[in-house]
Structure 1
Amino acid sequence: MRITENMMTTSYNKNLQRNISNLASSNLKLASQRHYNHVSEDPATASKAFAIRDQIARTEEHINVVKNATGELETADSNILTLNSILENIYEKATKAGGASSQDSLDAIAEELNGQMEEILQTMNARYGDKFLFSGSANSEAPFSLDADGNLLFNGKQVDAYDKNDPDTYFTENKPVYLDVGFGTYASGMNTAKSGIKISTSGVDVLGYGKDENGYPNNLYSLIGQVSGQLKTGDKNGAMDTLAQLKKKQSNISIATSEIGTREKMLERTQNRLETGLVNLQKTQKDLEAVKVETEAVTNKSAETAWMVTLQLGSSIIPPSIFDFMK
C-alpha cells in the first residue's frame, strides 16, 4: 500500500488533536482538583458521588437542627435557673415578714413579691428565636397570662383549676414535641417518642398546676400571690405556712433542670454521631471526586511532552507551502 502525503498529514492531525485534548483534560483536572468535570466522563462514579452529596446535605441539615434544639434547651435551662434565683430571693424576703412589726413593713414586702411575680411571668414567656420556650406544643401566643381576676392562665386554661377527673380543665396544647434522631431519619414532630428526643419544655410542668389535698395551689406563681395577699391582710402565720408550701414545690425546678440536662447530653451524643458520619461521607466524596494530584501531575507532564513532540514532528511531515518561501 502506497502511503501518500495526504494520508500522513491526516494521521498527523489526528494525533495532534488527541494530544492537545489529553493535555487540556489534564490541565482542567489539575485546575479543578476533580477526577472528572462532566458526568459523561465517568457516569458510574458520578452517580455514586451524587448519592453521597445528597447524604452530606441531609446530614448537615440534621446537624443544624440538633444544634438549634440544643440551643433551645440551653436557653430554657438558663431561664429556669433564673426562675430558681427569683424564688430564692422571694423566700428570703418573705421570711423577713415573720419578724416584721408593722403592717407597712408587710405591705412593702408584699409589693416586692408582686414585682418578682411579674419577673416570673416574663421569664416563663421567654422566646428562643421565634419560639416560646415554655409553651408546650402551642406557639402562637405567649403561654402565660392573667385573667381579669389575676388568676394565672396557661395557653388560655386556668392553672389552679386543673382537675385530673375533669377533661375540660386539661391543658390540650401541652403535648411534648420530639426531635427524631433515629438513624436515617431527619424529621421532627410530636409522635416519635421511641426514636426521638423531647425538645419542648412545658412551663406549666415547671411551675406546677392544680391544688394539693390541703387546698394549696401546686403552682409557684399562685403560691407567691397567696403569700403576698396574706401579708397585705396582716396574716403572718398564714403567709409563713404558704411559704413553707412554696419551698416544697420548688423541687419542681430541680426536676426540670435535671431532665433538661439529660436531654442536652442526648443531643450532644447525637451531634457527635452525626458529625462523625459527616466526616466519613466527606472522605468518601473526596475519594470519588478528587483527583490524585501527584499521579495527575505525572500524566500532565507526559501529555505536555507528547504535545511538544507532535509539534516538532509537524515540520518534517507537513510539506512546505508558498507561504514558507515568502518568509
Structure 2
Amino acid sequence: MIRVTTNGTLRGYKSSLMRTSNAVNLARTKVLTQSNYTSYAEDPASATQAFKLRRSFSRTNAQLDSTKTLNSKFSAACDALKSVKSDLADGQAKISSLAGLNDANASGRQPLGEVLESSAESIVQIMNSQYGSSFIFGGKDSLDDAPFQMQTVGGKKVLTYRGVAVDDPANAAVLEAMTGETSYVDVGSGLTEVDGELISSSAFNGALSGISFIGYGVDEDGDPKNMVSIMQKLSDIFGRCDADTGAWASDQDQTDATRLTGKLTDSISEITNQWTALDGKTSYLTTSENRLTELADNLNEQILGIEQADLASAITDFSWAQYCYNAALKVGNSILSQSLIDYMN
C-alpha cells in the first residue's frame, strides 16, 4: 500500500507546474518570433534544411545583385553606342562627308568639316560615359582616367585609348591585348573552376573595351580603322578646301576624301554589328536577372515554409497553454496543508 503524503503531492505539483510554465513560455516565444524553432536542438532536421536553403538564397542574392549592376552597365553602353551609331556616325558624319564630296555643296565644305570634327569630339565624349564611378568602355581598368583622349601631337590631333595612340601600328599588340581583357562575373550560369582555372563559359565577361567598338590600327592603305580618326582626317581635308569656292586643296585630297568616306561607311556598319552583339548580351543579362529573381523568391518561400510558424495555430496553442497554466495555479490553492503524521515525522 502506497501512502500519499502532502510533501509527495507538493513535489509532483511543482514538477507539473514547471512543465506547464515552460510550455507557456515556449508558446509565447513562438507567437512573438513567429518561428517554428529558436534553436537547432528544437528541430535539427528542419534547421539543417533551412540552413542549406539560406546558403543557396544568399548565393543567389549575390548573383542577382551582380547581374543587376552588370545589366544596368550594359544597358547604358547600348544606349551610348546607339547614340554614336544613329545620331552621330550614321547621321551627322556620314551625311556631312557625302555632302562634301558633291560639287554642288563645294562652298560648304569647310563648315561640313567643322561638323565632322564636332561629331568626332562628341563620339569621344560619349565613349567616355560613366556608370557610377567607373567608365563604361574603360575595359578592366574602368576606375582610372577617361579612356579616350584627343591629344595634339605635332600640330595634329591624335586619339589615344588609356594613353596609347590607337592609329600607331607599333601599338597593335598592346591594343589587341586590351580588346581581350576580361572581368568575369558570376551571373548564375554555374561558375566552375578546373585545377584553379575558371571556365570562361561558366561566367560573364563584364569588361567593355572601347576600341573594340570604334576600331583601332590602320589598314593596308595606311588609313585609320578608327571611326573618330577617319572623321578627323575628313575634317582636316574639308578644312583645307577654299573657303569661297570650296575647291580641293589638291587632287590627292579629293581622292583621299572619297576613299575615307567609303571607309567611314564601313566603320559605321561595323559599329552597327557591335551594337547588335552588345544588345544580345544585354538581353541575356535581362533574362538572367529575371531568372535569378524568380529563384530567390522561390527559395525565400521554401525558407518561410520551414521556419515561419502558422500564427493562428501558434496563438491557439498559446491560449491553451495559458489556460492550462492558470488551471495549474488554481489546483495549488486546493492542495491540503501538511498532515499531523507528516508534521510529526
Give the TM-score band, short-chain normalised. Answer: 0.7 to 0.9
Task: Indicate whether 1:199 and 2:199 are aligned.
Answer: no
| Aligned with 1:172 (options 159, 172, 177) | 177
Per-residue CA shift, 1:252-287, capped at 9, x if unaligned? 221111111211222222223322322232122112
| Distance (Å, rounded) in 2 between the aligned partners of 1:62 and 1:4 | 68
Query: Is 1:180–1:186's contact at 8 Å kept on the other side of the alignment?
Result: no
| Distance (Å, rounded) in 1 between the aligned partners of 2:58 and 2:183 | 24
Q: Which runs of 5+ in 1 are unaligned?
A: 321-327
| Distance (Å, rounded) in 1 between the aligned partners of 2:336 and 2:328 | 12
Deviates more, 1:166-175 or 1:273-282: 166-175
Deviation, structure 1 residue 15: 1.5
Query: Is 1:179–1:198's contact at 8 Å kept on the other side of the alignment?
Result: yes
Relative distance call for 1:158 and 1:311 in structure 2 (3 A) is same
TM-score normalised by length of structure 2: 0.82
Q: What percentage of residue pairs aligned between the two structures are identical?
A: 24
Aligned residue pair count: 314
Deviation, structure 1 residue 318: 5.2
Which residue in 2 is equivalent to 1:145?
Answer: 149
| Distance (Å, rounded) in 1 between the aligned partners of 2:319 and 2:192 | 47
Per-residue CA shift, 1:150-175, capped at 9, x if unaligned? 21112222211247xx8655443331
| Distance (Å, rounded) in 1 between the aligned partners of 2:264 and 2:334 | 104
Amino acid at match of 1:308: N
Secondary structure of the equivalent of 2:185? strand
| Distance (Å, rounded) in 1 between the aligned partners of 2:299 and 2:164 | 49
Task: Indicate whether 1:276 and 2:294 are aligned.
Answer: yes
Query: Is 1:136–1:203's contact at 8 Å kept on the other side of the alignment?
Result: yes
Secondary structure of the equivalent of 2:200? coil
TM-score normalised by length of structure 1: 0.86
| Distance (Å, rounded) in 2 between the aligned partners of 1:214 and 1:124 | 26
Deviation, structure 1 residue 200: 2.4
Q: Which runs of 5+ in 2 are unaligned?
A: 242-247, 339-345
Deviation, structure 1 residue 314: 1.7
| Distance (Å, rounded) in 2 between the aligned partners of 1:169 and 1:45 | 56
Which residue in 1 is equivalent to 2:278?
Answer: 260
Deviation, structure 1 residue 110: 1.9
Amino acid at match of 1:178: Y
Deviates more, 1:255-264 or 1:289-298: 289-298
Secondary structure of the equivalent of 2:201? coil
Q: How does 1:106-145 map to 2 (within 5 A)?
A: 106-139=109-142, 140-145=144-149
| Distance (Å, rounded) in 1 between the aligned partners of 2:208 and 2:82 | 14
| Distance (Å, rounded) in 1 between the aligned partners of 2:336 and 2:192 | 65
Which residue in 1 is equivalent to 2:239?
Answer: 232
Which residue in 1 is equivalent to 2:22?
Answer: 21
Query: Is 1:155–1:171's contact at 8 Å kept on the other side of the alignment?
Result: no
Task: Indicate whether 1:69 and 2:75 are aligned.
Answer: no
Relative distance call for 1:213 and 1:153 in structure 2 (3 A) is same
Per-residue CA shift, 1:75-97, capped at 9, x if unaligned? 00000011111111122233333
Root mean square deviation of aligned Cα: 2.5
Query: Is 1:178–1:191's contact at 8 Å kept on the other side of the alignment?
Result: no
Which residue in 2 is equivalent to 1:30?
Answer: 31
Query: Is 1:93–1:109's contact at 8 Å kept on the other side of the alignment?
Result: yes
| Distance (Å, rounded) in 1 between the aligned partners of 2:5 and 2:324 | 24
Amino acid at match of 2:83: T
